[in-house]
Amino acid sequence: MDDTFPTLDRLRLPDDQIAKHTPATPKEKVNSSRTPKIRGEFLKGPIPLEWLGRAAKLRGKASLATALAIWFEVGRRRSNEIKLTTAILARFGVNRKAKYRALKQLEGANLISVVRPPRKNPIVTVLIVDSESPTKPTCGSVPGMSLDGTAITTAI
């Protein structure tokens, strides 16, 4: 009998290399990513360092803890607008009264904007920090002031 492909065996992979090239699931699952999978809860970044630095400079520990809690919830919800509950802040060691003080400080530093519905949890929006003018007031922060800090006069 005449063999059409007499040297076909020389094209085959050796047995030790077959496991590397097969699409079948290997016995040990190899993690292809460089960093190991994080178990549990974590802060999802990126968190702008300018934003975090301004929050860290505020008075008291509740302001920074509240800022971290806000970023934690922003990462979980994948939205810059979140409802900030007392239960979330309790995990960061912030009580209800400290929550209100910290929100006022963060809002005064132009890091967040807060909508406070009556008898409901506040809705917090994380603001983008402009590194060129860290203390520039916004129209909502100082009544009667424009964005450039000049007084607004109205004719009566």
The pLDDT tens digits of the residues spanning 89-114 come to 999 999 999 999 999 999 999 999 99
Which of the four pLDDT bands, split at 50, 70 and 90, describes residue 18?
confident
- What pLDDT does residue 82 have? 96
Would residue 58 count as lying in a domain?
yes
Would residue 43 count as lying in a domain?
no
Give the pLDDT confidence of 109-143 residue by residue, as tens digits.
Answer: 999 999 999 999 999 999 998 766 545 444 333 34
pLDDT value at 32 more than 80: no
Would residue 136 count as lying in a domain?
no
**Residue 129 in contact with residue 111, Cβ under 8 Å?**
yes
Would residue 34 count as lying in a domain?
no
CB-facing half-sphere around the CA of 5: CA atoms within 13 A:
5
Rg (CA), the chain: 28
DSSP letter (8 states) at residue 43: -
Would residue 74 count as lying in a domain?
yes
Would residue 6 count as lying in a domain?
no
Structural domain boundaries, residue 64: 49-126
Would residue 83 count as lying in a domain?
yes
**Structure tokens that stand for 52 in this block:** 């975090």
Would residue 87 count as lying in a domain?
yes
| Number of domains making up the chain | 1
pLDDT value at 87 more than 80: yes
**Residue 105 in contact with residue 61, Cβ under 8 Å?**
no
Mean pLDDT of the chain: 80
CATH number at residue 54: 1.10.10.10
